Amino acid sequence: MSTKASWITEREAGFTLLEIVAVLLLVVLLASLVFPHFDLAYSRWQENTALLQILRDLKEAESEAAGKGRDMRLVFLPGKEYYLLELGGTPLRRPLPGLILAGEEEAEDEKTVIKFGKETPEEQEVVFLGARGRVYRVLAAKGRPPEILVDGEGG
């Protein structure tokens, strides 16, 4: 008996076209269930990352102003996907993914500034809009650590 003859069976082994289509259909259905949630999770991750960076920069600015007497500012520009961290006139650009400055449509050239130094205001606030209607209020007040308040949850 030759080797080739032992490979051949009465019924060829393999998958039928119907079986392959059924498996592909299941994969597509599972992917359609996962990806909408992935998009929402990704946008929330972007927002949280940006907000944590703002908090770190606020704490750093407050520390520099209190410890070394340096003037520091966080400048939020409408319509930009970044904000500026300024130390002595030197700006450092920080990304602001997933968030937009609230009220930017009314005042295109109006910037929002949080400053620390010799003339630190008692309380400062910046409002951001996130995905699905979430509103974030970033508060910086004298004598209290900076904080973020979430005002709204959208559907």
Give me the phi and psi of 9, to 5 degrees please. -120, 170
CATH for 72: 3.55.40
> Which burial class, exposed, middle or buried, applies to 140 when counting CB atoms under 10 A from its CB (0-12, 13-18, 19+)?
buried
* pLDDT: which is higher, 1 or 60: 60
Domains contained in the chain, number: 1
Highest mean pLDDT range out of 4-18, 50-64, 95-109?
50-64
**Does the residue 32 lie in any domain?**
yes
**Phi, psi of 100, deg, nearest 5:** -125, 150
pLDDT band for position 12 (cuts 50, 70, 90): low
Q: Between vectors from CA 94 to CA 77 and to CA 133, what angle results, nearest 5°?
A: 60
5 within some domain:
no
Q: Which residue has the higher pLDDT, 136 or 70?
A: 136
For residue 8, tell me if it sits in a domain.
no
Query: Could you tell me if residue 47 is inside a domain?
Result: yes
- Residue 1: is its pLDDT beyond 70? no
Domain limits at 106? 16-152
Answer yes or no: is 11 within a domain: no
- Judge whether 58 and 146 are in contact, CB under 8 Å: yes
Let me know if residue 109 belongs to a domain.
yes
What pLDDT is recorded for position 155?
Answer: 40
